[in-house]
């Protein structure tokens, strides 16, 4: 998954021996050169568009910002997940279009969500763990990955798990136009349907970035926006013990847990789920789907 580039320029002028040019002339010349470069690369008075996006991910991107290069389904995807606000399923009528981040299905009910697959390496391993403990999860699938591995996607659906749209190629929707956002979502739904025979009823935005265009597209397409409330950052491979500890420390009634089966090496995630799921069951939690 995509990083924001960051550049900075320093304008320094110094008078050198024998240059034959006054300090003022050097400064004026340097300033003119800086303005020329700024015009060439499309800087704005507010700074680079990438810096603006970092500070306000929900603001529309400036016209000259182009979409970041596509990241393949096997590449490591660095993430900057947004901190979730507490919102239960019952709140959806009060706040239309907001992502569901908590379940409202009773005491000790939680949900497990698995993102960025399907993967021919890690998805089957996770499916076996879920089958062993009779846990139903939600798999947020990349459309491109479902098209590459339709058999794995079909295995997830046949096992009774919920399939969630996670865009075609894990694009950061804050960078995209309305048309491009709709294409990312509709193309993924088509690929998932072709692989599994199902059309997703939910959508999860990559990186937890929810621009207005994504929420409006969900509303018009009849897709429930899905967030999360517990993020153990397994994608960063912090270690199996750290992943398990974060899950156990932060999970409570209604929690939606975020994990990953695609986008890189997910061996730590698999190992962590082998430990975390039975621990959660021993504490009396029940797994449901949003």
Residue 197 lies in a domain: yes
Residue 199 lies in a domain: yes
Give yes or no: residues 49 and 164 share one domain. no
Residues with Cβ < 8 Å from 177, sequence gap 6 or more?
A: 213
- The residue segments making up the domain with residue 253 are 89-288
Listed in sequence order, the DSSP H helices in 222-259 are: 240-250
What are the distances in angstroms from CA 139 to CA 48, 51, 100, 146?
Answer: 36, 32, 15, 11
CA–CA distance, 274 with 130 (Å, rounded to integer): 9
Residue 216 lies in a domain: yes
The partner residues of 112 in beta bridges, in order of sequence, read 257
Residue 270 lies in a domain: yes
Give yes or no: residues 266 and 165 share one domain. yes
Residue 11 lies in a domain: no
Give yes or no: residues 44 and 144 share one domain. no
Work out the number of other CB atoms within 10 angstroms of the CB of residue 211.
Answer: 21
Give yes or no: residues 28 and 154 share one domain. no
Give yes or no: residues 120 and 241 share one domain. yes
Nearest residue to 252 (alpha-carbon basis) of 65, 109, 48, 83: 109
Candidates 105, 115, 116, 261; catalytic one: 115
pLDDT mean for each 10 residues of the chain (290 residues): 36 35 37 37 34 34 36 40 44 60 96 98 98 98 98 98 98 97 98 97 97 95 97 98 98 98 97 98 97
Residue 65 lies in a domain: no
The pLDDT, as a whole number, for residue 85 is 39
Is 260 designated active site? yes
Residue 10 lies in a domain: no
Residue 2 lies in a domain: no
Is 190 designated active site? no
DSSP state for residue 149 in the 8-state scheme:
-
Nearest residue to 212 (alpha-carbon basis) of 99, 86, 47, 77: 99
Q: Residue holding tokens 């025979």? A: 197
Report the predicted TM-score, pTM, of the whole model to 2 decimal places.
0.70
CA geometry: angle 282, 112, 247, nearest 5 deg: 60
What are the distances in angstroms from CA 201 to CA 128, 147, 163, 165, 166?
Answer: 24, 18, 8, 8, 11
Which CATH number do you get for residue 246? 3.20.20.370
What are the distances in angstroms from CA 235 to CA 32, 44, 114, 154, 173?
Answer: 45, 34, 11, 24, 20
The pLDDT, as a whole number, for residue 254 is 98
CA–CA distance, 138 with 40 (Å, rounded to integer): 46
Give yes or no: residues 106 and 175 share one domain. yes
Give yes or no: residues 167 and 282 share one domain. yes
The pLDDT, as a whole number, for residue 56 is 35
Give yes or no: residues 49 and 174 share one domain. no
Candidates 116, 231, 260, 261; catalytic one: 260
Work out the number of other CB atoms within 10 angstroms of the CB of residue 26.
Answer: 16
Give yes or no: residues 135 and 264 share one domain. yes
């Amino acid at each position: 998954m995509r990083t924001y580039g960051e550049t900075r320029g320093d304008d320094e002028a110094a008078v050198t021996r024998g240059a034959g040019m006054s300090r003022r002339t050097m400064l004026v010349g340097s300033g003119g050169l800086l303005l020329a470069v700024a015009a060439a690369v499309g800087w704005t008075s507010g700074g680079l568009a990438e810096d603006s996006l970092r500070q306000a991910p929900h603001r529309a991107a400036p016209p000259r910002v182009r979409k970041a290069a596509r990241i393949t389904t096997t590449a490591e995807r660095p993430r900057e997940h947004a901190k979730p606000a507490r919102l239960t399923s019952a709140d959806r009528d009060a706040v239309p279009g907001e992502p569901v981040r908590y379940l409202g299905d009773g005491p000790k009910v939680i949900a497990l969500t698995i993102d960025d697959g399907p993967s021919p390496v890690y998805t089957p391993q996770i499916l076996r763990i879920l089958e062993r403990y009779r846990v139903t999860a939600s798999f947020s699938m990349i459309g491109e990955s479902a098209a590459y591995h339709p058999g794995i996607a079909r295995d997830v659906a046949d096992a009774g798990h919920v399939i969630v749209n996670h865009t075609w190629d894990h694009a950061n929707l804050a960078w995209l136009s309305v048309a491009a956002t709709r294409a990312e979502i509709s193309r993924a739904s088509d690929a998932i349907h072709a692989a599994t025979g199902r059309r997703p009823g939910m959508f999860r935005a990559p990186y937890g970035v929810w621009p207005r265009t994504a929420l409006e597209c969900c509303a018009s397409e009849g897709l429930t926006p899905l967030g999360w409330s517990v993020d153990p950052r397994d994608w960063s491979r912090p270690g199996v013990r750290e992943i398990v500890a974060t899950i156990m420390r932060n999970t409570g009634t209604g929690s939606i847990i975020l994990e990953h089966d695609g986008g890189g090496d997910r061996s730590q995630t698999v190992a962590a789920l082998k430990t975390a799921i039975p621990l959660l069951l021993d504490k009396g939690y029940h797994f449901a789907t949003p």
